[in-house]
Structure 1
Amino acid sequence: MTTAPVRPIRPAADPFVHPTLLPEVAVTDVKAEFLVITPAVAKDMLRRNTRNRNVRAARVNGWARIMTAGLWHNNGEAIKVAIDGTILDGQHRLHAVVKSGVTITTLVVSNLPPETQSTMDGGAKRNPGDVFTLRDEQNATMLGSVARKVWLWEQGDKRFSAKEAPTTPELYTLVDNNPGLRRSADIAVRVYHNFRYIPPSIVGAAHHLCSRIAADEAAWFYEALGTGAELSLRHPILTLRKRVMTDKDSQKAVTDGLHMAQVLTAWNALRAGKTALAVIKVPTEADGKVHQVIEPK
């Protein structure tokens, strides 16, 4: 092993006293190479995953979906291994390889001192808005939020409990396959500019769902939702506006799922030919504990 230099880890209080010294592993001892990781190899590496944080199932599932869909790409992020073979960083990717049964090629950095683990994963994670900004998308932050809501809806999470979260490649794919989401994000921004009583990501996601059924009707519905102009007494949109304003002014806690159900209740009423609606009432499930999921019609 190459003789390691030493570095001070804290200055001495007395200038005539030597500082505390800590051996430092030489750069030449650290190995970095691209390796083929099969499920069997990943399983073997995970046997030495003895000093890591708890595994997060949602993150493993996300990576596994990416690998299964063929969306895995080398991005320079490494699986990091200590001198003694323990996994310092990358356990979720290794678990995903096992779960998906997919073989990947990835950078592996080994022979690292165990204490370097304390400095890993310290950077801020990119949110959906960040990743769409990098693609020069208009309304990038809103597009990321709307796409995330639509992804959850399409996964069957129609109350937006977010037990699973979309990965960046999944959001890219969703928007590329549904370019109308860009229009929905624009609508969400416009509505929120005039009417700040419904989360804009809900407005955008609802617009996307409704526009797939009747694009022209959806355009009119959400413009009227934002302005409230020229609506007759008890018009479903006006009744919706009053409902959400009352809830917010009274500081009532309303979940994103319930907001979506309220918006789609008004939409469905209009689609059914009702020009007057006394209240926006979302039915509850049989046990009466949660609201029913409303599908757009």
Structure 2
Amino acid sequence: MNKPQQQLFDGPRSGRRTFAPEEAASILADRNLGNRNRSASVVARYARDMAAGNWQLNGDAIRFDVDGRLIDGQHRLQACVESGVPLTSFVVWNLPREAQATMDDGRKRTMANTLQFAGHDVHAKTVSSILRRALILDWTDGARTKGGTAPSKAEMSAYYDAHPLVGAAAVAADLTRANVRCAASTLGLAYLIFARIDPAQAEEFFVKLRTGAGLEEGDPILVLRNRLTREGSTRLATESDETLAWFILAWNAKRAGRRIKILRHKTGDRFPVAA
């Protein structure tokens, strides 16, 4: 008579190994049973990091139960397949079947946490939101600024290192939102876009937006300020493409020396480009 499974179980084993894409595909085909549905966006994010050489061996393990069933790691293995890059990982096997129910149950570390670990405690949340939206905006050529595939922490960290103005954008956003009703990520992203063109004029634009000082009727900054004051309360918690478009239209008009009466951008309109 066969012994009960719990008597055969003598504890987990662990080690480190490298999975070739072909082996990863085989595991997914034969041993990935009863897992949650895979997220295509998560796989794409992991695969980009692997292909770029940014994937880190951080101690997170690929895990198998006593029956050899894959119970954690399907997204990493699928990313290995899609990137065509071997995946080196710690591996734990011979786990009890019920162990899967307790996995991924902790609080996820965010990009803001990553910035805090690096000593950037001030404005970390705003910096994180600006980085995410700036990358998506760059990827989509201004077609949209939210949704789709989220950038990875490695991609956001690289962008942060390459664009030192992100820090100034976060400071400007956090200062300005005390006076203007608008999401910090929209304020910060607008500042970043403008500061790439003319840092001094971007700073002046935001000071006037924040204070309202010296603005006359028809001034694009005043028109923007009034619209945010009037409609910002319904958009405060959102990251609106339309609101970002208002900023860019006001910036372009201010740079051209034009007076305006209204800022308008509808869904489906060509997204404006800051000049």
Kept in 1, the 8 Å contact 2:249–2:272? The answer is yes
Q: Aligned equivalents of 1:119 and 1:168: distance in 2?
A: 25
Kept in 2, the 8 Å contact 1:64–1:99? The answer is yes
> Aligned pair 1:292/2:275, yes or no?
no
Kept in 1, the 8 Å contact 2:183–2:239? The answer is no
Q: Residues 217 and 80 from structure 1, CA distance in 2 versus in 1: closer, same or farther, beyond 3 angstroms?
A: same
Q: Aligned equivalents of 1:25 and 1:160: distance in 2?
A: 53
> Aligned pair 1:246/2:246, yes or no?
no
Q: Aligned equivalents of 2:198 and 2:113: distance in 1?
A: 31
Superimposed CA distance per residue, residues 197-243 of structure 1 (whole angstroms, 9 cap, x where no aligned partner):
11111111111111111111111011111111111112100001111
> Aligned pair 1:148/2:126, yes or no?
no
Q: Which has the higher helix share?
A: 2
Give the AA of the match of 1:83: V
Give the AA of the match of 2:179: N
TM-score (norm 1): 0.85
Deviates further, 28-37 or 114-123: 28-37
> Which runs of structure 2 are paired with 1:64-103 in the superposition (5 Å)?
64-103=47-86
Q: Residues 218 and 290 from structure 1, CA distance in 2 versus in 1: closer, same or farther, beyond 3 angstroms?
A: same
> Higher relative contact order by CA 8 Å / sep ≥ 6: 1 or 2?
2
Kept in 2, the 8 Å contact 1:25–1:113? The answer is no
Q: Residues 149 and 31 from structure 1, CA distance in 2 versus in 1: closer, same or farther, beyond 3 angstroms?
A: same
Q: Aligned equivalents of 2:7 and 2:268: distance in 1?
A: 57
Displacement of 1:23 in angstroms is: 4.1
What is residue 247 of structure 2 aligned with on the other side?
263
Give the AA of the match of 2:243: H
Q: Residues 260 and 252 from structure 1, CA distance in 2 versus in 1: closer, same or farther, beyond 3 angstroms?
A: closer
Q: Aligned equivalents of 1:198 and 1:234: distance in 2?
A: 21
Q: Unpaired segments of 5 or more residues in structure 1?
A: 5-21
CA RMSD of aligned residues (A): 2.0
Superimposed CA distance per residue, residues 160-184 of structure 1 (whole angstroms, 9 cap, x where no aligned partner):
2321111111111110111111111
Give the AA of the match of 1:213: I
What is residue 12 of structure 1 aligned with on the other side?
none
Q: Aligned equivalents of 1:23 and 1:45: distance in 2?
A: 25
Kept in 2, the 8 Å contact 1:81–1:112? The answer is yes
Structure 1 residue corresponding to 2:18, chosen from 22, 36, 41: 36
> Which runs of structure 2 are paired with 1:123-162 in the superposition (5 Å)?
123-137=106-120, 138-156=122-140, 158=142, 159-162=144-147
Q: Aligned equivalents of 1:261 and 1:24: distance in 2?
A: 65
What is residue 220 of structure 1 aligned with on the other side?
204
Q: Aligned equivalents of 2:145 and 2:165: distance in 1?
A: 21
Instruction: Return the index of the structure with the highest Cα Rg.
Output: 1
Identity among equivalent pairs (%) = 32
How many residues were matched structurally? 269
Displacement of 1:292 in angstroms is: 3.0
